[in-house]
Each structure stands twice: as C-alpha cells, then as structure tokens.
C-alpha cells in the first residue's frame, strides 16, 4: 500500500490563504535545512527535501494551486511520471529564481544579478587596548601602533606596472561574475559566482607593479591616537573612521574597531554605571558611631557612621559612580557595604574591659552557663512540687 501524502500546506507549514511570497519563504527555509549537500547520506533529510520541493512546485504555480485546492492530491495522480517524489515530475516545475539564491548560499556563490565589480568599502580592522579601571571611568587618550595599508605611490593604487594598465578579464568579460550550472534533483540550475580570475574586479593585471606586487597598496607601521570616552565598559569598542583596509574600485576605507579591555580593580567592582566596594569598620565605631575613610574613584571621602550600625549595612554615595557615555556629567552611584571587624588579638587589659562591657550589655559570655544551670535545677524543682511529699 502506497504511503499517504501529507497535505502540501502542512508540509510547508503555511496557511491555505498564504500568498506567493510566504510560500516561497517557507520553502526556501526548508530547502536550505534539508538539502542533501548539507545532510550527506541522510535519507530522511533527502525525503523531506523532495517532499517540500513537490509541495512548492504545486503551490507556487497558480493554476496547479487552484487544482490542488479543488481536488487535492487526486488532481495530479494521473500525471505521475517516473522521476521525483511519489511519482511527481520535478522537471515541470520552475525553480530557477529561488534556487539561484539557495545554491548561492550553499556553495558560496553570489546572489543572482548582484554586481561585484563596483566600488566597495574596505574591511574593518580590529585591535584591542588595555586600560585601568580609573581610565575607563574618566576616559583616556591612548596611542596604538598598527600596520596599515596606504595607496602605492608608484602605481597610484592601480597595481599595474607604470606605463601599463589593467586589462579586462577574459573569463567574465569585465562583469566580475561568472555563471555556472549545478545539477540537482530539478535538472540544471544556473548560479552566479564571483569570478575566480579577477576576484570580482573585472580587471586582470598582466604586468604587476614591482613595489606593491600588484596589490596597489603598501603596508606601513603607523601610530594612531585613540580617545577612550569616559564611562566605557569592558568589552566595548571605539570606532575610528577610515582607518581600516582600503576599499576596492574606488570604494572608501573601512574602519578601525578598538576593543577596550578594562583591568580588574582590587577594591571596586562595577555594574552598569554604579560602583560597589566593601569597607571594614571597628566594633567601637559600629557601636558608638564615628567617622570612617572610604576610598572612591574621586579620592578619599569621610563618612559619618551612625551608632548601632550592624555589619552588612549598605550606604550610598550619590554621584560617585561611573559617568554615562552620553553625558559624562551624569554619573551613577557608589554603594558601600560596611563590615564590622572583630579583633583577633587582644591584650589582657582589653579582654578584661571587654568582659566588663559584656556584663553590662547582656552578659552574653555566661549565656550558656545560665541555660545549663537551669536544666540541672529543673528536676529538683519538680521533686519539691511533685508527688514525693
């Protein structure tokens, strides 16, 4: 018994009311996912690829779509040929437009009709710079030394030996693209690819410039000044216009992208535009209140601690955080966690004074003894008040 076919709309995952563009988009996604060249040796993927292709061949044709909507699969049972999925003849379908895109993506070719020999912007160059935490907060000027390409002064960027000129590429006829054919389940498919001989420029240099070897550019070491803005965070980049790779065919230069690496700070931690730190305070200051010195990115500040402050108390120093990138006059806050320090070394006199202090503030040193004494006295109390009289 023959396998029952799935509904074509279900295969493509579209509604029955879907327009031509929606059907094409759905099929293109499935074709790229299940194409045999992407899934070599996968019989299930090949089956789904053919199933989707059959559905697209019907639903992309207005007349066939009308027949399918009216009669279902029965509309084409009588015309089953030898090839294709389930007897369907793929040679009757037009896949030229969509497969110009799909095969271009799969095999590295360009999209149909795209011109590659026009002016093109040069590639961006990426580098990095390491700065301190304070430099990230307030901004800094840094000097980088990089190898950059400049137009060759001998050939003025043409790449050709002085007195000669580049010739039109014979392979692509100066178009920068070549057309090749690809055999698929659907017959012969035309695809467009960048010309391998001229790399899309449409020109071939027969006699190369001796100074730049035909590239048209000379590499030189240069020093570049980079302005790191106040408030920049770790991993963010600064863009310097027109300091990247030279363009082709008269196109502009690319950009220089400088990634900023911010060093860790021994005291401060940053979150967005706020700074966090921990400050130790003595037991005396916590209990009686007093002034403590807090380090900030702006320097040391004096903070008045209230009497009875508990450990892990958090205080806010408004406007002592990181400036925002949009406006360096607008800053975040600095949040400080106060930690009460317990001394680990005490003199005999200090210990005696601390015992006296404890006796006056709850006698916590003898709390366990009081609980133990009460537990031992409890049976005696029961005996006096019990049934032993």
Assess contact for 289 and 309: CB atoms under 8 A. yes
Assess contact for 57 and 20: CB atoms under 8 A. no
Confidence of residue 115 (pLDDT cuts 50, 70, 90): very low
Instruction: Please provide the DSSP assignment of 234-297 as one string.
Output: TT-EEEETT-SSPPBTTPPP--EEEEEEEPP-SS-EEETTEEEEEEEEEHHHHHH-EEEEEEET
* pLDDT tens sequence across 86-95: 444 444 455 5
pLDDT, the chain, mean: 83
Among 51-65, 235-249, 291-305, the range of highest mean pLDDT: 291-305
- Average pLDDT score over residue span 221-241: 94
Comparison of pLDDT for 227 and 384, the residue scoring more: 227
Q: How far apart are CA 231 and CA 150, in angstroms?
A: 33
Q: What is the pTM of this model?
A: 0.58
Q: Catalogue all structural domains in the chain, each as residue range(s) with its CATH number.
A: 8-94 (1.10.287.110), 125-262 (2.10.230.10), 269-341 (2.60.260.20), 348-385 (no CATH)
Any idea what the Cα angle at residue 237 is, between residues 233 and 239, rounded to 5°?
Answer: 140
Q: How far apart are CA 120 and CA 124, in angstroms?
A: 12
Query: H/E element holding 335?
Result: strand 334-341
- Indicate the length of the chain as a whole number: 389
Assess contact for 273 and 324: CB atoms under 8 A. yes
* pLDDT tens sequence across 181-215: 766 555 566 677 888 888 777 888 889 999 998 88
Please, what's the b/e burial string for 103-132 (b: 16 or more CB within 10 A of its CB; e: otherwise)? bbebeebbebeeebbeebbbeebeeebebe
Instruction: Please provide the DSSP assignment of 201-222 as one string.
Output: SSEE-SSB-TTTTTSSEEEEEE
Residue 37: which residues within 8 A CB-CB, separation 6 or more? 106, 107
Q: How far apart are CA 286 and CA 267, in angstroms?
A: 21
- Average pLDDT score over residue span 149-168: 87
Q: How far apart are CA 121 and CA 299, in angstroms?
A: 46
* pLDDT tens sequence across 309-355: 999 999 999 999 999 999 989 999 999 999 999 888 889 999 999 89
Question: In percent, how much of the chain has pLDDT > 70?
Answer: 81
Residue at token pair 């579209």: 14
Query: H/E element holding 30?
Result: helix 20-34
pLDDT of residue 107: 47
pLDDT of residue 348: 92
Q: How far apart are CA 257 and CA 122, in angstroms?
A: 13
Q: How far apart are CA 11 and CA 30, in angstroms?
A: 9
pLDDT of residue 2: 52
pLDDT of residue 70: 87
């Amino acid at each position: 018994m023959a396998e029952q076919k799935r509904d074509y709309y279900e295969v493509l995952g579209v509604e029955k009311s879907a327009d031509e563009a929606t059907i094409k988009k759905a099929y293109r996604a499935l074709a790229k996912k299940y194409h045999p060249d992407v899934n070599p040796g996968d019989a299930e993927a090949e089956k789904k690829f053919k199933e989707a292709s059959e559905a697209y061949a019907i639903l992309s044709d207005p007349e066939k779509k009308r027949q399918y909507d009216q009669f279902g699969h029965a509309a084409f049972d009588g015309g089953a040929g030898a090839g294709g999925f389930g007897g369907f003849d793929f040679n009757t379908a037009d896949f030229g437009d969509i497969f110009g895109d799909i095969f271009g993506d799969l095999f590295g070719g360009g999209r149909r009709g795209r011109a590659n020999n026009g002016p093109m912007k040069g590639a961006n160059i990426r580098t990095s710079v390491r700065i301190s935490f304070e430099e990230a907060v307030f901004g800094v000027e840094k000097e980088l030394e990089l190898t950059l390409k400049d137009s060759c002064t001998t050939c003025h960027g043409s790449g050709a030996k002085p007195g000669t000129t580049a010739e039109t590429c014979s392979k692509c006829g100066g178009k920068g693209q070549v057309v090749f054919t690809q055999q698929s389940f659907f017959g012969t498919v035309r695809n467009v690819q960048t010309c391998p001989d001229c790399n899309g420029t449409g020109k071939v240099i027969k006699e190369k410039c001796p100074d730049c070897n035909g590239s048209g550019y000379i590499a030189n070491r240069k020093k570049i000044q980079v302005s790191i803005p106040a408030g920049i965070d770790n991993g963010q980049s600064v863009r310097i216009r027109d300091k990247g790779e030279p363009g082709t065919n008269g196109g502009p230069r690319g950009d220089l992208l400088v990634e900023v690496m911010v060093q860790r700070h021994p005291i401060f931690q940053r979150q967005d535009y706020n700074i966090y730190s921990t400050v130790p305070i003595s037991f005396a200051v916590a209990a009686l209140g007093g002034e403590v010195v807090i380090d900030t990115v702006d320097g040391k500040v004096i903070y008045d601690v209230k009497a009875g402050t508990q450990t892990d108390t958090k205080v806010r120093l408004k406007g002592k955080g990181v400036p925002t990138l949009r406006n360096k006059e607008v800053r975040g806050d600095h949040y400080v966690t106060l930690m009460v320090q317990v001394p680990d070394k005490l003199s005999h006199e200090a210990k005696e004074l601390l015992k006296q202090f404890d006796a006056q503030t709850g006698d916590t040193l003898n709390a366990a003894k009081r609980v133990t004494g009460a537990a031992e006295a409890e049976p005696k109390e029961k005996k006096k008040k019990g049934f032993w009289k």
